[in-house]
Structures are given as structure tokens and as C-alpha cells.
Amino acid sequence: MEIDVDPKKHGVGKTVLVVDDNAAIRKMIAAAYLSDGLKTCGEAENSKEGVELAKKIHPDIIALDLSMPVMNAMEAASEYERSAQKRRSFCSLCTETVWLKLKSRKQTST
């Protein structure tokens, strides 16, 4: 589990939690959210870690990979809702498809 905070934003923006078992994709999505104005981005490798981290950082947005070990995105969303202190927005991602497309583009461009 990781938590990145952009100190330049001084409280402006929302908090996001990115849950994905692929570290490269998780970092890419987290960087995109931080560059788009969000102040804090938590990262978790699986949904169980994500639920624990959500209890600590209370994210406004949770980006979930659809297929993960331990608990899939649908099960995780239910778990997040049960433990939520505030209403959250969910974004379920099929990141393997995105990753494979990016990887194939990179290979064809070299």
C-alpha cells in the first residue's frame, strides 16, 4: 500500500484510491489522477488492501481493476460501500486490455 500526496495542491482536489494488481498500471493511473488536480492518491495491490486503505484515507474516487486476486471489483465495491463514511464514485477498469494495447503499440513503434 502506498499513499502519494502532492504538497503543491495544498488541500485542493479530491482523494483517489487506485486498486490494481499490476504495479505498472497502478502507477500510471495514479500519476494520471495526480496530474489532473487530485491531491492524494492511495494505491493498493488487491481489494483486501484497498478496503483497509480506504478506511484510512476516505477516498472520493476508487478506481478498481475488474479482475484481481483475493476479491474481484464487484465484491470489492460492495465491501467499500459497507465501510464507507461518505458516498464514493467508482471507476472499474479492465486494465489488462489497456496494458496489452499500450504494450503492442510500443513494440510496433520501435
The model's pLDDT over 49-91, given as tens digits with 9 standing for 90+, comes to 988 998 898 888 888 888 777 887 778 777 777 776 655 565 6
The model's pLDDT over 12-56, given as tens digits with 9 standing for 90+, comes to 668 889 999 989 888 988 888 888 778 788 999 998 898 899 889
The domain spans of the chain are 2-109
Buried b (16+ CB within 10 A) or exposed e, 43-61: bbbbbbbbbebbeebbbbb
The pLDDT assigned to 107 comes to 62
> Is the pTM for the entire model greater than 0.85?
no
Name the CATH superfamily, with its identifier, for domain 2-109. Response regulator (3.40.50.2300)
3-state secondary structure of 78: helix
- Phi and psi (nearest 5°) for 4? -105, 135
